[in-house]
Structure 1
């Protein structure tokens, strides 16, 4: 195809994670590649080292050629998401009439929490969890309350019930911000776990808002269950997006979905929120969901290969590091406490090994002594990253 960038994979490319050289990646100007000096290998922030799926490139190119760069309109994104959910998760309950386009998942979370809670109200999170949950919730005048995960990196329903019970005895309108799948542990919550969450939320009068941005990124054998699909979750609100699975963070757009009993809440979303998403972003996300399935499947195979590779490399070079491959996401949560590097091993790996990982500390309770490694890169760079991490111990 004339004008096609050279780093767009052919339709039969088996693994987009193997498509780009380090030299080409270093030409990128995004956060992952410009935060640290060039001698640092960046395996931290959630950007993938992949060329974009061809349908996404085509949709954006056609928009540029048409001058189709105005304001977003219509329900094509939500319709594409509903079709994807039906095909991938056997979920027929994503009703387009109960959706809204929002600027991105985190801004959508803020807007959903505004709908179901008030200033000063508590918002429960399961730490360790995606670090922006903390400042975003606090900057909107809510109070973060941690209900830590269990030692297995999964939801601890007993801790959650104790927390809900304590909050329900107070004033205000408590909310629960659930990360599903869980970032950073990669846990995919089961239908039974989510139904138990919904039952607890009903019992204690807690409204649930769910971040499901990693939903398409499940490993083989793991089945993502949409929160709104389980019994009792009818008053929940969910945020979904194609941004993580197709590497579209710079093309802003996400979808807020309301359960049947939350439709009136979503209807109160201020009109100006719908002015925030990028129209080009909406076009790109829609194309990814409708036509990017083969590319996504190739990515998922590559990520599964990388999980096995990382496990083997750690066993050989850093056997004291504990790693349980996640059921979802392209992120690895590494327990480095046995290395004797203190509370922030990422700092040591950066200074001595020149490899950038996420420190576990900003993830909240349970994060000290851990690092998060981004697996969405080539096997060669993962191998080099582990080599550098091992060298940092010398």
Structure 2
């Protein structure tokens, strides 16, 4: 495909149904899957070429991460005018593995990890597997950071020991992109209470033109960031991530266990290096397609499901949908990784559309579901039409609450 062509409009539904990935295999062929964070795109040409070269050469050995680190540094310099030093960066298996390694470097067993819910579900369970306690400091109005809540949480949790704050930047699932002023305020608050901030920036390439992305480490030299090309170029199969230390704590990377850097796969490093080094034309075409889709979602909901509240995201390819006008039961019914509670359960059963249930995102996720609009406009249109056809407002529900803000 040409790199100026919208990659979301290349593959037919028939072609997508031949995929063997989780998104397309978890539910039957009657279901339109708009749940897990996979995009319905072909590979960017530079990525496909890098993978084909590796296959032709039998290049299936251990990873050499130097070019990967340089490709990211150059990408960050072009995209965000930020170029962390190579000594600040280490390869890791993937972003959430990098989060765990950062928590270990920044604190101790049984430390508290604070998260701002509703937030990416692994923020709750991955730290627990690493021996940490997770507490919530929910988002405030309009899905932005609530600094009074954060200060209260930082104060309480640092009184009896260390604490870390796990930031989603941009925020998943709301699509909020934190401003530089907000991140500076967070950094000051963290410094006041001795809290270490770890910023998950995997969605950073997916920020729309009207909004500026601010890398967290540009405002906090004692923080950590984790990232990869996985979300921007839909490369979840090619495991590789980067752990980045703030300038003042780069020496802590010496304590990173050797096996952490060996976790990235060679094929993943090759794919993601190509994405960062040569994949920007494809990314720009993708962003144009995603921009059109986020606006189309606004129009489709207004027409077919006007009582569903939705705020257009500033980043990511997620629509965070509020179904509270419909009175769905959010009682648990299955594992947290399956979108089968509340409105998502109803829509899977009745509309044959798979969304991710809001309950998995913690406090504030009740009566919500996350919709992945990184698909073709035809699939997105049919999905919302199906959703609208099965929604029945609860008795006494209020006026239409659709928001484009």
Aligned residues: 381
SS in 1 for 2:370: strand
CA contact 1:56–1:288 (8 Å) conserved in 2 = yes
SS at match of 1:247: coil
In 2, Cα distance between the equivalents of 1:203 and 1:62?
51
In the alignment, is the contact (CA less than 8 A) between 1:352 and 1:391 conserved in 2?
A: no
Alpha-carbon distance in structure 1 between the residues aligned to 2:136 and 2:259: 31
What's the CA shift string for 1:40-83, capped at 9, x where partnerless? 11000000000010000000111111111111124111111111
Task: Structure 1: give runs of 5+ residues left out of the alignment.
Answer: 1-8
Structure 1 residue aligned with 2:370: 372
Cα distance in 1 between the residues matched to 2:3 and 2:381: 27
Give CA deviations for 1:144-165 in whole Å, capped at 9, x if unaligned.
0101001311111111111101
1:158 corresponds to which residue? 148
Checking the alignment, whether the CA contact within 8 Å between 1:178 and 1:210 is kept in structure 2 is yes
Matches within 5 A, 1:166-315: 166-171=156-161, 173-230=162-219, 233-315=220-302
Aligned to 1:6: none
For 1:224 and 1:251, the matched residues in 2 are separated by 25
Counterpart in 2 of 1:5? none
1:340 counterpart residue number: 327
Pick the aligned partner of 1:80 from 60, 63, 71.
Answer: 71
Q: 1:116 to 1:12 in 2, by over 3 A?
A: closer
How far the C-alpha of 1:10 sits from its partner, in A, is: 2.3
Following superposition, the deviation at residue 342 of structure 1 comes to: 3.1
1:148 equivalent to 2:151? Answer no
Which range moves more in the overlay, 67-76 or 322-331?
Answer: 67-76
Query: For the Cα contact (< 8 Å) 1:235–1:260, is it kept in 2?
Result: yes
2:172/2:316 contact within 8 Å kept = yes
- Is contact 1:49-1:378 (8 Å) kept? yes
Mapped partners of 2:2, 2:164: distance in 1: 45
What SS does structure 2 have at the residue aligned with 1:175?
Answer: strand
Q: What SS is found at the alignment partner of 2:141?
A: coil
Once the two structures are superposed, the pairs formed by residues 51-90 of structure 1 within 5 Å of their partners are: 51-90=42-81
CA–CA distance in structure 1, aligned partners of residues 297 and 3 of structure 2: 27
Query: For 1:224-250, what per-residue CA distance to the aligned partner results, in whole angstroms no more than 9, with x for missing partners?
Result: 0000011xx111111010000000000
- Please give the secondary structure, in 2, of the residue aligned with 1:152: helix
Q: CA offsets per residue over residues 304-341 of structure 1, 9 Å max, x none? A: 10011000010111110111011000111001101222
Task: Say if 2:91 is the partner of 1:101.
Answer: yes
1:30 aligns with 2:21: yes
- Residue number in structure 1 paired with 2:2: 10
For 1:139, the equivalent position in structure 2 comes to 129
Query: Residue 34 of structure 2 aligns with which residue?
Result: 43
The CA RMSD over aligned residues, in Å, is: 0.9
The offset of 1:18, in angstroms, is 0.5
Q: Deviations over 1:5-52 (max 9, x none)?
A: xxxx22342x10000000000111010000011111100000000001
TM-score under structure 1 normalisation? 0.95
CA contact (8 A) 1:176 1:207 kept: yes
How far off its partner does 1:167 sit? 1.1
Retained in 1: the 8 A contact 2:82–2:218? yes
